[in-house]
Amino acid sequence: MNASFSTAQVATLHQERRKSPLRDNVKNSLRLYLNSLSGHEPEELYKMFTEEVERPLLESVMEYCNGNQTKAARCLGLNRGTLRKKLKLYGLN
């Protein structure tokens, strides 16, 4: 699947981001999760959160870059070797 975006689509994405920034969505999701624990202490919350966010981030960027790891690493601001390790960790290689 080609993940190329038109200028209009990119503009729409930027407008949507301004309406509902990622951090607000993350904060709301975490609040809902913590409230659903009914007073139980969360365990390994950082690890759980990182895994929940990192995998779809990698999947989306790899799709956007048509599987080109060098381009994806550049988009993510990662060393290509680091990206390869993360892809392997999540079984995305």
Domains of the chain: 1-42 (no CATH), 43-93 (1.10.10.60)
Inform me whether the pLDDT recorded for 1 exceeds 50: no
How would residue 17 be classed by pLDDT, with cut points 50, 70 and 90?
low
Distances (CA, A) of 44 to 6, 47, 48, 49, 67: 40, 5, 6, 9, 31
pLDDT per residue over 33-88, tens digit each? Answer: 999 999 899 999 999 999 999 999 999 999 999 999 999 999 999 999 999 999 99
d(CA 48, CA 44): 6
pLDDT per residue over 23-39, tens digit each? Answer: 899 999 999 999 999 98
To the nearest 10 degrees (0 to 180), the angle between helices 80-89 and 69-76 is 100
Q: Both tokens of residue 87?
A: 């892809």
pLDDT recorded at residue 5: 74
